[in-house]
Amino acid sequence: MGKLYLVSIGPGALDLITPRACEALKKCEIIIGHQLYLDLIQTLITGKKQIASPWGKEIERVDLAIDKTVEGNNVSLISSGDIGIYGLGGLTLERLGKNNQEIEYEIIPGITSANACASILGAPLAHDFLTLSLSDLLVPRETILERAEFAGKGGFVSVLYNVQSSNRKELVYEVLEKFRPHRSPQTPCGIVSNAFRPEEKSQIVAFEDLFAMQFDMLTTLVLGNDATRVVHNKMVTQRGYSFNNEK
């Protein structure tokens, strides 16, 4: 039996992939993932067997990775960001448990969208924050909206993943409405698309401006709170340090 590596490849830039992830890719004969992710790391996996699967086939992708490992191959199942955060890490462990399979595996962490985008915007996550996926394929819309309301009431800086798709246009604005009673219209918010990829774009806008904007699935929103400021064109969430009292 081989070994299965659950490899996080980060936001897209090769120099943001961890050395451990690179070593895992070197050890494997087979690399499995969505074609977009395979393309991002192509220079690291040239010459290896690559198996691509489309969106919506996540269970099949995981099962294939497990099967290839059982057959005696060293396999990398890759995911952007961190494979354990909205990735296939959880599903892989679920499938192993459901099928009562025991294989050798290793989960390799990576830089997820929240901290990748935060670094582009400044330091908006310097205090308590949370992440919320707006994908309603696996989670009911009502649950997403309920969680958004709690996030708004709690005053958390909030990182929104999977913001808008061609089939899900309005949910992001419904989520923003849940934050509206708890945010000043001028609260700084960050928008990052294609973080650390050639098409990267970012901007900082006021909370109220978000309602007139369009997004996509490669966009991450960072909603500031009442402690978030713009300093030298970067978002900063104050943690409470006082530099006035330094001696």
pLDDT, tens digit, 9 for 90 and up, residues 137-152: 999 999 999 999 999 9
Mean pLDDT of 215-236: 96
Please provide the DSSP assignment of 99-148 as one string.
Answer: TT---EEEEE----HHHHHHHHHEETTSS-EEEEE---SSS-HHHHHHHH
Q: What is the pTM of this model?
A: 0.91
- pLDDT band with cut points at 50, 70 and 90 for residue 227: very high
At 25 the pLDDT is: 98
| pLDDT tens column, 151-205 | 999 999 999 999 998 889 999 999 999 999 999 999 999 999 999 999 999 999 9
| pLDDT tens column, 31-74 | 999 999 999 999 999 999 999 999 889 999 999 999 999 999 99
The CATH number of 114-237 is which of 3.30.1060.10, 3.30.950.10, 3.30.420.40, 2.40.70.10? Answer: 3.30.950.10
Amino acid at 8: S
Say whether pLDDT at 221 is over 70.
yes
Percentage of the chain surpassing pLDDT 70? 98
CA distance 11 to 73: 27
Residues 6+ apart with CB under 8 A from 88: 6, 58, 61, 62, 77, 79
Whether 58 and 137 have beta carbons less than 8 Å apart is answered as no
Domain 3-111, classified CATH 3.20.20.140, yes or no: no
| pLDDT tens column, 64-123 | 999 999 999 999 999 999 999 999 999 999 999 988 889 999 999 999 999 999 999 999
Q: Where in the chain is the domain with CATH 3.30.950.10?
A: 114-237
Q: Where in the chain is the domain with CATH 3.40.1010.10?
A: 3-111
At 246 the pLDDT is: 46
> Per this entry, what is the length of the chain?
247
Residue 70, φ and ψ in degrees, nearest 5: -60, -30
